[in-house]
Amino acid sequence: EPEVTQTPSHQVTQMGQEVILRCVPISNHLYFYWYRQILGQKVEFLVSFYNNEISEKSEIFDDQFSVERPDGSNFTLKIRSTKLEDSAMYFCASSGTGVQFGKTQYFGPGTRLLVL
Amino acid sequence: AQSVAQPEDQVNVAEGNPLTVKCTYSVSGNPYLFWYVQYPNRGLQFLLKYITGDNLVKGSYGFEAEFNKSQTSFHLKKPSALVSDSALYFCAVRGANMEYGNKLVFGAGTILRVKS
């Protein structure tokens, strides 16, 4: 069964450093998403991406964040200058199209980011 | 604004007994409703969804959920719990109206513990 994959599974970085989190969505999906889950808190929406552009973003997704689909398979989240409060589990998700099946977002296993 | 409430932080049930994990939602217009499960150190796995049609939806691993529009609820149920069902369960909503975009809004999660 196709699945969303994410690398790395864990990343430790120093405050102020740039990090890039990588995702490979399900191959025939057209919508891509990033969510995050701070330890002990809810899963929160960050951004959605369709047709090579951001379709929606939350207030969390400020100028420090960016997303890119550099090729036909990868979808990346970049944090330019990490802060302590960026420490969280970051989930990538993708969804297809269609009335019934396009609504379901399939999530990857997550990247646990720790900012020191 | 969309919101989801999962009123129970934890649900305990004996193996073989029926289980219910509660979820209520708030959204303007029709909702799209989802349940996801998260096992330790794993991503979010899709269980089931309600988009339209029958109020009782069946999903993976014997789980089902009933959409109740008048009570704005979407409780997750299983007739006979297994120890392996022990995990963290998330309810999520997405408004059907275009103004809501595609983002999912998650509840805080409910820990299900099934004891043998």
Summarised one tens digit per residue, pLDDT across range B58-99 is: 999 999 999 999 999 999 999 999 999 999 999 999 987 776
- CB of A47 within 8 A of CB of A63? no
- For the cut 90, the answer to whether the pLDDT of residue B42 exceeds it is no
Q: Residue A7's beta-bridge partner residues? A: A22
Cβ atoms of residues B42 and B22 within 8 Å: no
Q: Which residue of A has its CA nearest to B53?
A: A100
Nearest-CB residue to A31 (from B51, B102, B106): B102
| pLDDT at residue A20 in the model | 97
pLDDT (0 to 100) of residue A111: 97
Distance CA B73, CA A35 (A): 24
Give the one of B46, B101, B109 whose C-beta lies nearest to A48's C-beta.
Answer: B101
Mean pLDDT for all residues in chain A: 92
Q: Which of A5, A57, A104, A112 to mutate to test the interface with B (most CBs of B within 10 A)?
A: A104
The two tokens of residue A106 are 């399939």
